[in-house]
Each structure stands twice: as structure tokens, then as C-alpha cells.
Structure 1
Amino acid sequence: MGKLKAYKICFDGDRDVYNPGEVVSGYVLIELSEPMKCRGVRIKFEGEAYVNWIESEGSDDDRKSVSSWARKIYLDEVVTLWAHSGGENQKLPAGTHHMPYQLQLPSSGLANSFEGDHGYVRYSIKSNIERPRKSDPKTRAMFTVTGVQVNLNNVPEAIYGQRDGDEMTVCCLCCASGPITMTASIDRSGYTPGEKIKVNIDVDNHSSRSIPKIEATLIQRVKYTAYRGGNMSSPRNKYSKERVSTKSGPGCEPHDKSSWREQFLPIPPIPASGLADCPFIDILYALVCEADVTGTPFGLEVTLPIIIGNIPLQQVYGYDSNSVDYPPIPGGPAPSIEPHPLADHAQATAPLPPPPSYESLYSGQTSVMGANEPDDENWFGQQSFAPR
């Protein structure tokens, strides 16, 4: 864009993941090939939870589109990085400018960054160069806030295993064949990303139908709550479902059996269960085990609820609060881990899982562009984002 060669928001240490209570800091980089008329350079810190969808109501000529939405603001602060008091003809000099910024995040009340089908929790830094009688160049950088940590040691049911089953009888030409049964079990109910769910499945097929495949899938279900026209007295819900991780295996022939023993389903980078401090979005997980039955529209299905946390179970790994050596987020404090009241170091079965790597979430990049930004020739900012 002419004289403006670069306009970018940078984070100190290339760090873009922050805990509540930490300081977000960096600088705005502006590179000019020649002086630019400028009233000021401003930066805005934004954080919000937003849920929205549009539905059609009525019929025929009375049909109309109705928006349901909800919003909660976490950050909304504007800071002037550079300003000149000499009037409209004052100019920002040519060359490269580094304009530092910093923001102290609140120590509580911030929801974890999240991107979903019908809503999100986003944190961003926006900047504009205010020019007289011309449109302002703009840029943006997104960052991740970790929000409330889910410590599985504080969730009593996380350590307990689960087991459940399903049964069906297949009819063939008015005659019922023998039943098909499936049982599924897991060693515990609470996990963190990077761990693996140990799955056992038994299928006993007394029917004349084959079962070509058995599948175990970690499902993420998200509940969104919004309000018709923003009216808080008219709540509405929408749900989405994502297959996070899947493992498949062979089934069995008629009058045969199939058994999975200690099959491990990996857990990719995913947000923790729930979404504390966000009243409009709730995240749930479940392990769904399925067995397809040939020639029928239905199969067997067993669902086992799963809790995803940020801090692993002490009882499983046998660590204590003084032995954990997780490095902090660069520039941030080390995570604290409270001892689990049921911890028994003799029951340690595995090394502590690897420390958090802050990879992008499995769902991938999401567009964060506003309605008019794609066509704005003065736009320099980030176009897509995935929380980490």
C-alpha cells in the first residue's frame, strides 16, 4: 500500500499464549518508505464470547429470519501509542517504528479461547493509523488465553473406570435370530490432551448377520445458548458434534465373537470440558463405541462420558506437587498442581505425560475476518486463527 510497507502487531518472545493475570506485551511494527500524515497510532485490546445464529420463522409470505445471539465482554481497552499535537499536517516520519504496548490481564473471569460452529471466545489486539480525511490502515493479531485450568485431581469421578453395554435382536423373514451384545469399558473417566484412552470392547454375535467393523470415537458435543433478538427472556439452544479421534477394528462373522483388549485412542489438542466463565458455551466429551450390523439400519452403540482436563491425575502417574517438572509458558509462571487426596505412589503406572506444547487445536484455522475486511485495501491484519 504505497508508502506503508509493513504494519504488524508482534508479541514479545513470539509468545501468543497467556494465563489470566499475566502481562501481554509486544510492539506494533510500522515501516514507512516516506513520511505519512498521521494524527495518531492506537491499539485496542478486545476479548469477548459471542454466540449467534439465524433461523427462519413463519410460513409463506409471513416467513422471516430471526437472529439469536449472546455476547459477553472480557477485554475492551484502547491505548494511544503515538500521537502528534501539531495538527493535520503532522507526519509520522519515514523508517521503521517499534511502538511498545502491554496489558495486564485480569487474574480471574476470563474464559478459555474457543472456536466453534455457532460461537467463539476470542482475544485480539487491533491497531489503526488515524489519518486525516483518509481511511485508516488497520491490523490485528490474535492470542490465546488459557482460562480456568481443569485439574482432574479435583474431579472425584475422573479416576474411576466405566463399563456399559448394548444388545439387539435382528429379525430375518419374520424370524428373530440370536441376540448381539456389546460391552465397552475404559480404565478411567478423566484424561488430558496427549494421553490415550485405554479401550476394551467385547462383541458376542449370536445372529446370522456379520459385523464388518467396530469403531471407538471420542466425540466433542458443544451446547450453545443464545437469545432471540438478544432478549434475555427468550433463551434458545443449538448443538454441534465433532469426531475428535477415531480408532477402527475388524468385527466378527455370524455366530462369532470379537474382542478389543487395551486398544489405545489418542487424545489430540482439544479444549477442556466445560467452558468456565462463559455462560453461553458448554463443552462435553464422550467415548462412543459402535458396531455396524450388516443389512440393518441400526447398530450397537455404547456411550461413556469423558472428562477432559488440563492437569493430569496424580493417582495414575504417582507424582506429587514437588516432583512435577513442567516448564512454564515462556515468560509465565509454572503451573501449580495440588496433591490428590487419594494419591498412592505405589500405583504409578506410567511416566508423566509430556508437558503442554500449545499446538493449534484439532479443528484447525477459523476465519476471523469482519464483513468488510476482505475488500479493504487498508487491511494488514491476521485473517484466520486457531486457539492453542
Structure 2
Amino acid sequence: MLPPGRVRSLAVELEGGRAHGAYGTGELLQGRVRLELRGALRLRALEVCARGRADVYWLENHSVGLNTVYYSYTASQTFLHRCCQLLPDNGEVTVLPAGRHEFPFTFQLPETLATSFEGKHGSVRYWVKAKLHRPWSTVKKAKKEFTVIEPIDINTPALLAPQAGAKEKLVRAWYCNRGQVSVTAKIDRKGYTPGEVIPIFAEIDNGTSRAVVPKAAIIQTQTFVARGAKKQKKSVVTSMVGDAVAAGRREVWHGRALKIPPVGPSILCCRIIQVEYSLKVCVDIPGTSKLLLELPLVIGTIPLHPFGSRTSSVSSQGSVRLEWLSALPERPEAPPEYSAVVSSPEAERSLALPCPPELRGALEGPFFAYIQEFRLRPPPLYSEVDPNPPPEPARPRCMTC
């Protein structure tokens, strides 16, 4: 009879992954379960599971008469649930000696996964959990979380399409019209990545008698869905303030720059959690509400291709690999010299090949000699005087002579 063993440590370690331990959809999730024992251990099974799930939860209170009733809204969506038996439970007891033991595992991540997210009313989390089953004892567990980033390629026609809009507002005060304020804005495309600069082209017309102030901001909107209800949380990612527009004047933005800070990408494939972005151009009007113009944005993970055009987006859809672009020189090479192209007579003689007898007579003829003379002739000298001037027009005769 073996004495009862004691588990010193049970841990899950992950291998690979991109920067900061993040994994992409469709990648291999590899790792190992480390088990350290002080003594011999009797166990029934050792399993490891990879899980991924989105959860939404919030409370709302409603007054019913003199009482307050609380309603809870919960929802969940599973993205990943795969298990692997490292030591299968076949009805027999396995005895492991004291020391360190490692059990490798591999999981294939699905092609469709939502990006890891932590919000006020919900989250998207991924983890790997190991479970050690021992006879007549509780199950010992170890958990390791990891990050998943859903690839969003902005090199698509939908995300490379320009976005534009226009809004106007009639300003009233004490039932009197003070004039009209209008704003027109446009951006080059819909998809951007963190760190890029959004050039904003806008026109602000101030037809009122007071100065107005234009502003621009990137807004993040988190939407949580549960039991048919929605909960939203909006926050300003970054903003900028333009110059005041005097009464009766017009202000034009010729690509006013707004840089995107490090933010999480958009979440569009989750049923209960969405993370969306938008560019808002607003005009502060004294004495009344703001004039707002909103343009949709998508924050992606795959940046714009080197050419940065729609042609590159079409090529990306056709699975064209662009690694060869990195081998192109930054500046084109200079053309070769004329002396390097036209060989000297000594080089011609040294590189001459034996000619068949039936062609020797043809190559010694006058036509071939003319070709050789033309090919070896140096380039003509540049001169502003035309060597072949046009003939002078004939002078008219005098009929009286």
C-alpha cells in the first residue's frame, strides 16, 4: 500500500503565440501541464480543456408601487470548448512516482473567434484548465488564461471605401431664427489600425451671429445584449478642437490630422457583445445643442498594404502574396553607360562563336556589315543646330520682270 502522495504544484504553461502571448484564429495552441509531486501519487485521470466564452451581466431596478424590484440580465456565447485526456480514465488507478512530470497538449483554434475583451457589463475570455482526478480526494485544478485577437484586414473594398456626410441645423432663440450652421466631412476610408492618422476634410459654415467651435473625436461604443434588452457604454478615445469660426464665416479643414491611440480592435462577430467605433465631427453652438455628424469606423489588426490603394485591397482578396515588395529598392537604379552596352572590337573577337560553313557567306555580305556598322556607331552629338534644316520656300517671281 503506497502512502498518500502530496501534490507540490500543478500548472499549465503555453508555448508560442504572438506578441504578448496573443493567438490568432486558426492557430495551434500548444503547451504542457507540469505536475510536481513530493511523493508517489495515485490518480485516476488527468485532463486539459481549452475554453472560450463571452458573458454579459447587469442589473436593473424597477419601481413597483412602493417596492423596488431588481432584474438581472445575463447571456453567454461559447466560442471554444475542446478537451484532451492526458491520462485517460479507464477505470484503473495510475501511480506516478515523486518528482516532476510534464504532459504536452495541442489544440487547434477555430477560424472564427471574437477578440478578448473586458468591459463594464461583459467580457470575452479564453483559458486552458487542467484537472487532476484522484481517488477519494477533491479534484485539483490549474488555470491559464490567454488572449485571442481576431484578424480584421482593412485591405478590403468595404473598408477602403471613403466615408462622407453632411448635416445642417437652424439655430433658434426665443422663436427667432439666428441663422443656420452646416458641416460637411469626409475621410479617405472606413478601416484604420491603431497608430494611424485619420486626415479629416471638412467645411463648417457659420451663418449665425455668434462664433462656433468645431471639434472632432473618435468614440467607442460597447453594446451588450441579453434577454432582448441592450446596454450601451460610450467613451471618447481621442479628440481635437479646431479654431473658432466667426459669425458669417467658413472654416475649411484640409486633412486635419487625428491620431488613433492604442485601442482594442472592433468586435463584430459576437452575438451578445459588439465594440464599434465612429468619428464624430461636432460644432458647439452657443445657446443651443451641438450639431453632430457621425462617420463609421472599423479598427482592424492587419494594416494597409504598402501601396495603400484599392488595387492592393483587390490583390489581398485574391490571396496574392506581397512579401516580394520588401525586396524592391527604394530608388531605381541608374541606366547603364553606352560603353557598357556596346562592346569593343576586342571583346567581340574574344566572344566570337564558330560559324557554320553554310552561313559564313551570308554573314560576310554587305547587309550584315551594315548592321554591324550601325550597332557599333557611337551616339550622335547633341546640338541645337538642326543638321538637316528644312528647305527654304521658293521666292515668288515678279511678273513685271
State the TM bucket, normalised to the shorter chain: 0.5 to 0.7
Query: Could you say what secondary structure the match of 1:111 adopts?
Result: coil
Partner of 1:247: 240
Which of 287, 298, 304 is matched with 2:295 structurally?
304
Partner of 2:368: none
Which of 121, 125, 128 is matched with 2:124 structurally?
121
Alpha carbons 1:46, 1:76 under 8 Å: kept = yes
Amino acid at match of 1:308: I
Partner of 2:362: none
Change (3 A) 1:60 1:314: same
| Shift of residue 222, structure 1, vs aligned partner | 3.2
Amino acid at match of 1:44: C
Is 1:59 aligned to residue 64 of structure 2?
yes
Partner of 2:108: 104
After superposition, what is the alpha-carbon deviation per residue over 1:277-332, rounded to whole angstroms, capped at 9, x for unaligned? x32233332211122234x35122111122334445569614977x9xxxxxxxxx
Partner of 2:204: 203
After superposition, what is the alpha-carbon deviation per residue over 1:5-37, rounded to whole angstroms, capped at 9, x for unaligned? 7654222136432233321001234456x3385
After superposition, what is the alpha-carbon deviation per residue over 1:65-101, rounded to whole angstroms, capped at 9, x for unaligned? 222332222322333445899869x66624x443322
1:158-173 alignment, distance < 5 Å: 158-171=160-173
More helix by share: 2
Partner of 1:384: none
Partner of 1:139: 142
Amino acid at match of 2:130: S
1:1-388 alignment, distance < 5 Å: 7-13=10-16, 15=18, 16-30=21-35, 34-35=38-39, 39=43, 41-57=46-62, 59-60=64-65, 63-81=68-86, 93-94=98-99, 96-106=100-110, 108-130=111-133, 138-147=141-150, 149-156=151-158, 158-171=160-173, 175-211=176-212, 213-227=213-227, 235-273=228-266, 275-276=268-269, 278-294=270-286, 296-312=287-303, 317-318=308-309, 337-339=316-318
Distance 2:136 2:267 in 1: 47
Distance 2:42 2:66 in 1: 52
After superposition, what is the alpha-carbon deviation per residue over 1:97-137, rounded to whole angstroms, capped at 9, x for unaligned? 4332211223x343333333333332211234446666555
Higher Cα Rg, which structure? 2
Change (3 A) 1:315 1:302: farther
How many residues are matched? 311
Query: Could you say what secondary structure the match of 1:337 adopts?
Result: helix
Change (3 A) 1:268 1:340: farther
Which structure has more relative contact order (CA 8 Å, sep 6+)? It is 1
What's the TM-score, normalizing by structure 1? 0.65
Q: Which runs of 5+ in 1 are unaligned?
A: 228-234, 324-335, 342-350, 352-388
Distance 2:263 2:157 in 1: 18
Distance 1:225 1:305 in 2: 21
Change (3 A) 1:114 1:273: same
Change (3 A) 1:204 1:50: same
Amino acid at match of 1:78: C
Instruction: Give aligned-pair identity as a percent.
Output: 29
Amino acid at match of 2:272: F
| Shift of residue 226, structure 1, vs aligned partner | 1.6
Amino acid at match of 2:166: D
